[in-house]
Structure 1
Amino acid sequence: MLLSRKHILPLLNALYRTGTNRISVSHPATEIGELLEIRLKHPNETSVRLTMDLGDLNEGREEIRRRYGETVHNDLPDADEYVRAVTAGGLVPVANVSEIHEYISRHGYRDLEAGHGPLVLGIDTNIIPWELPRILDLDHKYGTTDDAGRRPTNGYALATGVKEELDWHYKHYETNSLVEAFGPEFERLTNQPAGSNRQGFLGLYAYRALMAGRNVDRVETGTGDESIVSGYLEYQQNSRKKPLLLSNDRGFVERSVDAGLLSQHVSFTPVLPRTVSATWKEIADTLYLLSVIFGALNLPKVTLFGVWNGKSGLGWQHEKLSCQFRSPKLEPLVERQMRVLDAYDDIR
């Protein structure tokens, strides 16, 4: 069965209704094991234990490198990538969220009727997969308004060089080494993006989604920091709009500021809390992202595949997962819950 991202909620509900309140989420490789544990309760307040120790994750990757080689090692996300995924899912906040909001308060919430130039977001390659405008509440369409009804930003200015950097195409043409290391689940990864390229695909389709659904200016640039900053500077000089660039790369931020651009560094936490409280929606978003970057996740009664042989561009665009049930009772219940959710969405 294929599940869209929103249909992970019916899956969680079906697990809850069949008595599975404690959900261990693990990678098939024994060297990696459990990534987190969910204690399903109220949809707006559920406990999640972040059981994966970041040091253990990196040590597990190194053990896999020693036993199975570089290709298998490179298929696994490292600790930093795991942190970014649980941050993008909403389980933990961006480390410097207060600093970012203060910076946006100084430069955003433009009064366009008074003649202020619009503020538009530029997003660097290293953070575009992680949906920061949404999790930081900066989106010009859905961001929380101030007392005067103004949004924090007024659109996006996306560099063509960032898209070019996201166009990674390395795929697994054989999966024998992955199957040996991780188990039979990975037989299905033939001809799908490998390792960090899966993050590249997340970023590429996030870029395309913004282009399709938001107010976006294309900023013509080459690749690399120097060319991207130069392109934004030219854009700023020839437009009433003011770009504000977000990046996890301090060097990029410093180069941008030195050139006369607004730019803000985004930091991810170096240490995860042991337990967090989350909504089912945040848990669903996290499961989607972890399924993609790890390739496959084992849950009680079901395995989620973020990539599989035959996943097409539409599968990426519509944020699909493949779901392999190990319980005959669970699948029909999920199907019914999906129909209810889709019917509700149709009448909203």
Structure 2
Amino acid sequence: MTEQDRIKIHRSDLNIVLNAIAKTEDEITVSHLSDKIGDLYTFEIGHPHNSTIRFEKTADEYGEARSTIMGKQAQSEVPEQSSYVRSFTTSVLDFANKSDLDNFISRYAGRDPSEGHRPVYGILDSNIIRWQLADSLGIEPNNTGLQGSLLVTGVRDELHRYGGPEKIKNPSELVDELHPNYERLFNQFKGQPREQRLGLEYYQHLDNQIYSEEITSEQGDASILEKCEEFKNNSGYDLLFFTNDRNAKEMAHEKNILGHLVEFSDSLPEETSASWGDFGLLLYVHAMLFGIIRLPKVDLYGVWQSGDDDTTGYLLVDCRSRNIKQRIRRDIAVLDTWSNVNG
């Protein structure tokens, strides 16, 4: 990968890459660079709001392929089967208990405080926030959603602790077992820290919204929920606490906070529908989880050696085709010109 082939692009502009690929392709297969893992899923290019994703492996087939990766470090750079399956709930698959969740949320959504109704905030536990579920749970406000989200610093700090600062210092095992391109992940965060950093990034995204509030707590469910109870009693808000931990749910109920389990499927369907935007978000998440993913004519890097202070929200596009590189650079230039003209 020469410097000229590298294009840094924000996740919100991934449609530029997809459009460039779609000029010559009818579908986009997403693959792991290792032949032992191979093809993961295929996006059949169709209507911008209703295209098809076809899964090339069942969940168990993915898990079996992962088990053939030798070496502790190399295997740790391939997401565990449960994380891989859950990652699709970010944008293209429903929760296992979707109907139950929808019924629960509908009882509290769409309240109008100006008519005397108690406003409602949603809270995401540290075990689910990395899958960026506020929109699908109805936390991001609209006429039918909640009033917003309550963020708790104890959740943020747990993500820091679980992720840790570990970086890839010796990529030779990754090069031997996965692909030579993994040498480019030298001194980048390892797989588990990258997964937790998806949660930290989403926490910051919610914190930047005008419809969120943040309260301070220590780490641990007891402290987090105690501070939530204090907020509820002092603010007049109702709180919905979403978690994948049954004990945390019961603890929330003891604090008079409405807790509900978010349950994930342990399998993948043969196919599902998705918009281009949904697919773009999925690509970003998987580039972070895997470090590198392969598409037709381009590789997407979620982490890479960079002189930039902050690469949060960005991907590095490594173009394996001169024509596609030119298309992407041209369209980015057009977008930049339009943005400058329109302020």
| TM-score normalised per structure 2 | 0.91
Q: Which moved more, 1:75-84 or 1:122-131?
A: 75-84
- Match of 2:208, SS? helix
Identity within the alignment, %: 31
- Pairing 1:319-330 to 2, within 5 Å after superposition: 319-330=313-324
- Structure 1 residues 153 and 345, CA, compared in 2 at 3 Å: closer, same or farther? farther
Alignment partner, residue 100 of structure 2: 99
CA distance in structure 2 between the aligned counterparts of 1:57 and 1:124, rounded to whole angstroms: 27
CA distance in structure 2 between the aligned counterparts of 1:83 and 1:278, rounded to whole angstroms: 16
CA distance in structure 2 between the aligned counterparts of 1:87 and 1:311, rounded to whole angstroms: 33
- Structure 1 residues 253 and 342, CA, compared in 2 at 3 Å: closer, same or farther? farther
Q: Is 2:148 aligned against 1:155? A: yes
Over residues 261-299 of structure 1, what are the superposed CA-to-partner deviations in whole Å (9 max), with x where a residue is unaligned? 111211222221111222211111111111110110111
- Pairing 1:70-109 to 2, within 5 Å after superposition: 70-88=72-90, 90-109=91-110
Matched-pair contact (CA < 8 Å) for 1:26–1:35:
yes
Shift of 1:174: 2.0
Matched-pair contact (CA < 8 Å) for 2:58–2:269:
no
Q: Is 2:6 aligned against 1:9? A: no
- Pairing 1:11-160 to 2, within 5 Å after superposition: 11-17=17-23, 19-64=24-69, 67-68=70-71, 70-88=72-90, 90-140=91-141, 143=142, 145-146=143-144, 152-160=145-153
Over residues 12-33 of structure 1, what are the superposed CA-to-partner deviations in whole Å (9 max), with x where a residue is unaligned? 111111x212322111122211
- Structure 1 residues 341 and 253, CA, compared in 2 at 3 Å: closer, same or farther? farther
Shift of 1:245: 0.9
- Match of 1:213, SS? coil
- Structure 1 residues 313 and 259, CA, compared in 2 at 3 Å: closer, same or farther? farther
Matched-pair contact (CA < 8 Å) for 1:16–1:40:
yes
- Pairing 1:175-190 to 2, within 5 Å after superposition: 175-190=171-186
CA distance in structure 2 between the aligned counterparts of 1:205 and 1:311, rounded to whole angstroms: 20
Matched-pair contact (CA < 8 Å) for 1:57–1:78:
no
Of 187, 192, 204, the residue aligned with 1:191 is: 187
- Pairing 1:155-304 to 2, within 5 Å after superposition: 155-167=148-160, 168-304=164-300
Shift of 1:312: 5.1
- Match of 1:315, SS? coil
Over residues 140-185 of structure 1, what are the superposed CA-to-partner deviations in whole Å (9 max), with x where a residue is unaligned? 2xx3x14xxxxx2112211111110111322112211111111111
| TM-score normalised per structure 1 | 0.90
Shift of 1:41: 2.4
Alignment partner, residue 149 of structure 1: none
CA RMSD in angstroms comes to: 1.9
**Hey, which bits of structure 1, 4+ residues long, moved more than 6 A?**
none
Matched-pair contact (CA < 8 Å) for 1:14–1:333:
yes
CA distance in structure 1 between the aligned counterparts of 2:336 and 2:263, rounded to whole angstroms: 37
- Structure 1 residues 280 and 154, CA, compared in 2 at 3 Å: closer, same or farther? same
CA distance in structure 2 between the aligned counterparts of 1:313 and 1:47, rounded to whole angstroms: 37
Matched-pair contact (CA < 8 Å) for 1:34–1:51:
yes
Shift of 1:73: 1.6
- Match of 1:37, SS? strand
Shift of 1:311: 7.1
Alignment partner, residue 4 of structure 2: none
- Match of 1:116, SS? coil
- Structure 1 residues 86 and 111, CA, compared in 2 at 3 Å: closer, same or farther? same
CA distance in structure 2 between the aligned counterparts of 1:278 and 1:110, rounded to whole angstroms: 29
- Structure 1 residues 40 and 311, CA, compared in 2 at 3 Å: closer, same or farther? farther
Shift of 1:61: 2.5
Matched-pair contact (CA < 8 Å) for 1:166–1:200:
yes
Over residues 296-341 of structure 1, what are the superposed CA-to-partner deviations in whole Å (9 max), with x where a residue is unaligned? 011111111111122756211xx11111111110011112223344
Matched-pair contact (CA < 8 Å) for 2:121–2:139:
no
- Structure 1 residues 48 and 121, CA, compared in 2 at 3 Å: closer, same or farther? same
Show structure 2 runs of 5+ residues with no match: 1-6
CA distance in structure 2 between the aligned counterparts of 1:299 and 1:323, rounded to whole angstroms: 10
Count of residue correspondences:
333
